[in-house]
Amino acid sequence: MRASDADREATVDALKRHSAAGRIDSDELAERSGRAYAAATVAELAELSADLPASPRAAPATYRSRGRPGLAPFSVMLDVDRPRDEVIGALLRRLVPALQDYGYELTEQTETRLQLKLEERAMSNIVLGFLLFPVGGFLLWLDKRRSQVSVALEEPAPGHTRLTAYGNASLAVRRRFERLVL
């Protein structure tokens, strides 16, 4: 099978991670990266990392977020032993509908990225707006709570996908990503 530019980039990114981990030195990284950019097939790319450990099979998510309620930044990384198109299909079937139940809207969908956004007025602003009508209430009425979740997908090696989800979301959404299994 012919290799795409994205396949070549994913292989070079994986080689950089192996170099950072001390598995290959900088000279070998440069040599393998050159061969990766010159590779015509997926098999040639696979040869470049055949002697290096593969991504773990469905490794548990790495989760970084404070457990506080309300909107907070988060990031989750998950390695999956499945091709990127299968992972995106699973996300569209399972995760996106769940986030849409929370009020999120899918605003971007490409083969390497999903983006979901939520805009809503906080109930406290509606109540305060009513009490502080007309001037203060109008300003509170304009204020919206905004949340954005991005999911980036990369293939560090053929048949392996690294999912990185990040953004600003409620505790319920952050916990949903913490328990994500594909």
- The lowest-confidence range among 59-63, 70-74, 148-152 is 59-63
In the chain, where does DSSP find H-type helix? Answer: 5-20, 26-38, 42-48, 84-90, 96-101, 123-131, 135-142, 171-178
Question: What's the CA gap between 15 and 62, in Å, rounded?
Answer: 21
Question: What's the CA gap between 181 and 90, in Å, rounded?
Answer: 10
pLDDT of 120: 66
In this predicted model, what pLDDT tens digit does every residue of 101-126 receive, in sequence order?
Answer: 988 999 999 999 999 998 865 555 55
Query: What is the assigned CATH class of domain 62-178?
Result: alpha beta
Question: What's the CA gap between 98 and 112, in Å, rounded?
Answer: 20
pLDDT of 70: 78
Please report, for the chain, the start and end positions of each structural domain, with discontinuous segments joined by +: 5-48, 62-178
Give the confidence band of 58 by pLDDT, cuts at 50, 70, 90: very low
In this predicted model, what pLDDT tens digit does every residue of 138-155 receive, in sequence order?
Answer: 554 555 668 899 999 999
